[in-house]
Each structure stands twice: as structure tokens, then as C-alpha cells.
A and B are shown apart, each in its own frame.
Chain A
Amino acid sequence: MYLFISPWLIGFLIFALYPILSSLYYSFTDYDIIHPPRFIGLANYNEMFHNELFWRSVKVTLKYTFISVPVQLLLGLGFALLLHQAIPWRGFFRTAMYFPSMVSGVAMSLLWYWIFNPQIGLFNYMLSWFGIPGPAWLMSPDTALYALIIMSFWTAGSGMILFLAGLQGVPASLLEAAKLDGAGRLRIFWNITLPMISPVLLFQLIMGLIDSFQVFTQAFVMTQGGPNYSTWFYVYNLYTSAFKEYRAGYSSALAWILLLVVMLFTAVIMKLSNRYVHYEGGSRR
């Protein structure tokens, strides 16, 4: 067995364990990557908690996460439920919903950069159909973050695929039995479908949170963290400190806080979900 898992084990040591530990060490140092690190104790952490941009990045990231992740999950689940039924053109709809997820990254950012252009973009044009004067979106500190949140809904199709896979795993016999007992659609959904797909939901919730905490591309390509730091995401802040201001020590402290927060969120969700998430055979694989 160890022969087989050795590539990963070696990789784990070099690309995960060693970096985590050295990042912890760097976080207590003044380090610019070129000169050797100099130990300064908790100064980086102390500075961080008094740094306005740090708190801004936390606020921006949490706001983005708490809106975009749940909505994306609901949309993905909704699409999956719609497309799990026998419906005309099902294959077409599935592909169409998934298609935007294939554009992710920089191409998507460029596309939405245009869509949100207040003068010539599609979004405000469509709003004008309903007589709504559109805001300046990415150009205004009040709306830039919401623009990015709206953009994130566009890739809900990737979650849909996983939910569809989960729905196919719900035994038809269970649904039949419930129907015979006279359960309505909603009841079947709450009492059978939802518990049966809860592991998929949990998986996506955790992965969605972790991804969302790491938003970078949109900030880098579309807004550079602006206007007026309204899209100053945590990882953008971390990247700027390390590779623009050459403060790798301070940035490592940011990295460690990110790691701790991710671990904390995951642990809390796992703990809470124990009661609600249903695993076949009662055991977690």
C-alpha cells in the first residue's frame, strides 16, 4: 500500500505539510522573500488586527460568501430538481445550465466586465426594458460587490450536476412507498429526497465556502480590489501584501488566519450537520 500512496505522501510532505509549518514560522517574522526572515514575535498578528484593510477584506469576503454560497446552492438544487423530472428537452436544458460553468475564470470575468459596463453593457440595457435606470455596477463602491455576487450565480450549473447525481441515488422504491402512503410532493421532498441528498449538500456547502473564501480572479481581473476597496477580497489582500509590498511575513500571518477560519467553519458545519446529514448504512465513507 505504501508503494502506491507514496507519490501522494511525498507530495503531501513537500507541498502541504512543509509549507504550512514554514508559513507558521514566517508569520512570526519580518520577511521580504529576498533577505532571510527576522523573528519579530506576534507583531504581524498585532498589526493585522489593527489594520483597516485587513478588516475591510474580512468584511468583503464574508459578505460575498454569505450571500453567494447559499443562493448558488439553492439555485443548483432548484435546477437539479426541475431537471430531474421527465420534461421535454431535458438534455438541452442540462447542457445549457452547465455551459456557463465551462467559462469560469478570466474569460468569465472579461465577459461580465462588459455586461456590467454602465454605458454599453447588457445588464443595464436589460434593466432599461423595465424602465429601471441601472447603477454604475463595478464603477461604484456601493454596487461593485453585488455585481460580483450576481455574477457568481451564473455558475450554479456546476452544483446542479452534482445534485443531479445525488438525486439519481435516491431509491425509487422509497419514493414509491411514500407516494402509496399518500405523501404529497413537498412532504416527500422534505422527508425523503432532502435527507437522501444531504451528503451532497454538505459537500457542496463546505467546498463552496472554501472556494468563496479564496476569491481572487474577479478582484484581480475586474476591479483590482476597488473602487474604494469595495471588492478588497481577503486573498487579494494577501496577494498584494506578499507580492506587491513584499511583506511575506505579514502575508503568512494572513494565510494562517485564513487556514484557521476555514478549519473552524468546516469543523462547526460538520458538527452541526451530524444531526441532519444522512449517510447510507449509517456510516461515513
Chain B
Amino acid sequence: MSTVKATSPLSPASRPHRRVKPVTIASFIALVITTFLMLLPLFFMVSTSLKSKREMLKFPPTFLPESWAWSNYTEIFDTLQFGTLYKNSLIIAVLSVFGTLLSSAFVAYGFARYRGRGNSFWFILLLSTMMLPYPAIMIPQFVLFSKMQWIDTFLPLIVPAFFGSAYNIFLLRQFFSTLPEELFDAGRIDGCGELRMWRTIALPLSAPALATVAIFAFIYSWNDLLTPVLYLSSSEKFTLPVGMASLTSSRFRIPPWHLLMVASVLAMVPIVTLFAIAQKQFVEGIVLTGIK
């Protein structure tokens, strides 16, 4: 095994005497170019967010702001009730993540621990709901929630998360299936009930998978536009995407590009932060659950 490992294509760099192959150089150059292209829009997003109103309209666009208009970042909170938008989005996202984690981990445990005819039937049904386009069901859902008087509340954006989401259940189920059976046997001998085994054995061992699900759920909720557009009508309840979408509306003759970019930068902050904190677990989670 060790010989295979040493010569594995994953780690040729560990062999010091190797000459650099032309393929590697070509790949490196290709990567530098694509990375430059990928990061350029982001660079301009940040740079434009710091330009003055006059400078943002300059052509060609300046790479760095001539004078750094840090005041854009306070201005947006005054002009667009940005703080309220941010707070609303955070409340909805955090509660959705909590709901998704709780319910998806619970359901996934059920799918992972019991195998049988009934189980595989429901599991296939679960997988097929992943293909269900949201627009196909949104009208009856809207009717349902309006009958429940939930229009213009956060409830339609949060409550469904507590019933589990197919993709995340699938992900966690794959992960739970890899936990060694002996652990649960030991738990059973100690007189643990299933609920307790779920809480004390399965959950603590699944940190990477749970982190992955948390990130997916957060990104999903944070970026969602269609659902809040449907359900929220008063502007003090808008989420960040809804508020930002209104920025392009016709009430500005010239779009305030610098403020649009400030909003975009600020909208990225929680996701990037979350990703930075959980990056290791996130990548590990994807690898371990083996999405296939």
C-alpha cells in the first residue's frame, strides 16, 4: 500500500528530484488566467463600492478609487433601511438553518438506521422530491399560507425548514450510513434508546456533515428571492435580496452603482465568514458524504 501512496498522482510534489513537467506549467498558466478573470468582477465590486458618486460613472472604470468614499458604507444604512433588511434576513436564515439541521438530521437518522422495503420506498420518494421544481408548487402553497393568515410574516420562509429538506436529508443519511454499527450496538447494550443514540452518538460524530448542511441551508435562505418576494409585502419586513432587488427599480434614473456594490459586498459578508470558519469541515463534509 505504501508504495502506491508514495507514487500516487495526488502527491508528486512530495518527490523533490522531479523535474517540472510542461503540463504542470501549462496548467499553472491556465489557472492564473482563469483565476484573474474570476476574481476581477469581485475586485471591482469592492473597489466600486468605495468610489464617489461622480467617480462611479467614469469610463474607463478606475481600478482603485481616487478618493476612498468610506461614507458609502454608512450612507446605505441611512438611505435604504439596510440595517432592517440585514436583521430580517439574519433572523430568517438562522431560524431556517436551525430548523433544517434539527429536522434533516432527525429524518436522515431514520433513513440511515433502518433498512427495509418500506424504507427504500420512502427514500426513493425523498430523492424524487429533489427534482420537484419550487415554481410547480408555489401557487397552492401560497393559497395555503394565505388561508393560514401567514402572508407578510416570516413564517412561510421559516416553518417549512422544520420539516426537513430532501437534499440535506440525503447528504446526512449518506454520512450516518458510514458510522460503524458497533457504536450503536454498544449504545444499545448500555440501554440507550434510539433518540438518545441519535443525540449522543450520531450527532456529535457528524460535525463536518452538519456544518456542510448548515452552510447549504444558510446560503439557500440568505440568497432566496422568489419566496420572500411572494410572501412579504411591507417594506419593513423585506429581506436583503428583496430590498436589493428594489435598488434597480425605476425610481433611480441612473442606478446608484456605488451603493449597489456596497450592498453586494455587505450581502457577501456572512456567507464568506461562515465559509471561512467552517471551510475545513465543509470540504470534508462534501468529500465524506460523497455526493453521488
Residues of chain A whose beta carbon lies under 8 Å from any beta carbon of chain B: 1-5, 7-12, 14-16, 18-20, 22-23, 26, 33, 79, 82-88, 93, 95-97, 99-100, 102-115, 117, 119-122, 125, 128, 154, 157, 161-162, 165-166, 168-169, 172-173, 175-176, 185, 199-200, 203, 206-207, 210, 213-214, 216-217, 220-222, 235, 238-239, 242-243, 248, 251-252, 255-256, 258-259, 262-263, 266, 279, 285
Residues in A whose Cβ lies below 8 Å from that of B113: 1, 4
Question: Which parts of B80-118 form the interface with A (CB within 8 Å)?
Answer: 103, 106-107, 109-111, 113-114, 116, 118
The closest CB in chain B to the CB of A125 belongs to B60
> Are B136 and A23 within 8 A (Cβ)?
yes
The closest CB in chain A to the CB of B164 belongs to A8
> What are 26 A-B contacts with C-beta separation under 8 Å?
A3-B110, A4-B111, A5-B110, A7-B106, A11-B162, A16-B137, A19-B139, A20-B137, A22-B140, A87-B27, A96-B35, A103-B42, A104-B219, A106-B244, A107-B244, A108-B264, A121-B61, A122-B41, A154-B41, A157-B38, A166-B292, A169-B292, A200-B292, A251-B139, A255-B136, A259-B133
Residue B271 at the chain A interface, CB threshold 8 Å: yes
> Are B143 and A22 within 8 A (Cβ)?
yes
Residues in A whose Cβ lies below 8 Å from that of B131: 206, 210, 262-263, 266
Q: A5-B110, A86-B13 are in contact. Are A248 and B139 (CB under 8 A)?
A: yes
Question: Which 10 residue pairs spanning A and B have beta carbons closest together?
Answer: A11-B163, A4-B110, A105-B223, A19-B137, A199-B292, A19-B140, A1-B114, A86-B13, A107-B264, A172-B8
Residues of chain B whose beta carbon lies under 8 Å from any beta carbon of chain A: 4-5, 7-14, 23-24, 27-28, 30-31, 34-35, 38-42, 44-45, 48, 56-61, 103, 106-107, 109-111, 113-114, 116, 118-119, 122, 125-126, 129-144, 146, 160, 162-164, 166, 169, 174, 194, 198, 219, 222-226, 229-230, 240-241, 244-245, 247-248, 255, 257, 260-261, 263-264, 267-268, 271-272, 275, 279, 283, 286-287, 290-292
